[in-house]
Structure 1
Amino acid sequence: MIKTWLVAMALLILMTGCGSKEVEEYNKPAEYWYEKMVTSVSNGNLEKADSYFSSLQSEHIGSPFLAEATMIMAQAHMAHDEYLLAEHFLDEYIRRYATPEGREFAEFLKVKAKFLALPNPGRDQGLIDETLKGVDTFKMNYPYSIYISQVNTMETQLQLARGVLDEQIAQLYERLDKPKGALYYRSMAPVTWIKPDEVVNANIPWYREMFEGDGSSSWYDFMIPKTRSVISMEDNESK
């Protein structure tokens, strides 16, 4: 009796284990993979959605579902703040499937993805410049785009961010007694329509301000050497 019971338990565990293990799927119609992908996106499971998209792409390379599926994945990753993956899908869409109208929309989304990837612009000067180049390219290619007002708004915010960042760097050089460095960054006025004295800096949360300062001074000021460096002396001597 005990032996029979143990065998039954072993079979039950084995069957439960097999049932819980996900069955590998392959060789399905394009509609199947597309529906699975859309359902996973709706449920917020982008890892699963990426997997289903890969199956759709690999098994049905010529499927008419691929263009729409690629754009869905791009926008889904953007909605989840995964901007690099969003750009990857947008590049794929532009390269393989985009019509002229679809290309314009995709290029706009690429600019928007780069812009949204800058929650703290003061930390990434390179990405600001890269995004502004994307803005210039978009405006040159699509001067009458229906998205131009949104692109202009993003450009204004980026130019303001770059101007504030340049001024903060200039102030840092002044505190280090390096006037040439300060002069260089103050000469890099982003655009003529921005007046530095009219720019209001963004409010920095207290927990960031403790470490980053407000641009004019920082909590670690006392750690900066008061003696002039060789570079600082050269700057002053050459004036």
Structure 2
Amino acid sequence: MSSEKTEAIVLRIYPWSETSLIASLFTCDFGKLSVIAKGARRPKSSFEAALDLLSICRVVFISKSSDALDILTEAKLQRRFRAGEKNLLRLYAGYYTAELLDHTIGRGDKHTELYELAQATLEALHESSLQVAAIVLRFEMQLLRLTGHLPSWRDCAHCGRDAPADKGFSSFSMLGGGVLCSNCVAGAQQIVRLPTAVLEILEQHSQVNWRSTNLTAYGCTQPAVLRGVVQRYFTVLLDRKLQMHSYLEELGR
């Protein structure tokens, strides 16, 4: 057994016993970890209240070679998530970030850039000048891109040919993973007519250089359509309805 050090975002915590916790951590160097923090529920534990949801910590853990839980031996708080003190929507957006990460990333899958994106997302939620809708959409699209699930916005997801819009709408396949051309759309299931204006916003937030995305001006005139498409796509992809979707209805208004 080896002892490892890294930085981590706390995605989920729940009690294991009267004195211990189990935590899901997204780390910079080791991907997602499931750890047991023995004694973390004691009033004066060595974890110094670092294991709060969405906190960023420096952690030390003992890696287990089997499927057993890794053992967390130390956690030092670096930054606490306080965006919820500004308004509930920013709090819910933070919780949604954690929920998406927890259900999308496999245990031990290292994603350094995704970790940087997650950290940047939590920091952006603290900035009142930045729009929550833009912050959330950038995170969603970049999460899909970095995990290999980004839809095809211009070329047919089935045959790879150009799939131009028809009268301002594209045929978007939830199961196929992107737009379909006029030849491939026949007989396809779970098709949504996606307005070109919405598709362009989705594409803008999918760019590789995500750090340059404008988060101050969202510019979507059909937010309900956009949120409906994105949430449904994640539901199909993950084969589950995410709990926080119902708390983010304001983003569609």
Structure with a larger share of its residues in strand:
2
TM superposition score category, shorter chain reference: under 0.3
Name which one, 1 or 2, has greater alpha-carbon Rg.
Answer: 1
Greater RCO (CA < 8 Å, at least 6 residues apart): 2
Q: TM-score, normalised by structure 1?
A: 0.26
Higher helix content, 1 or 2: 1
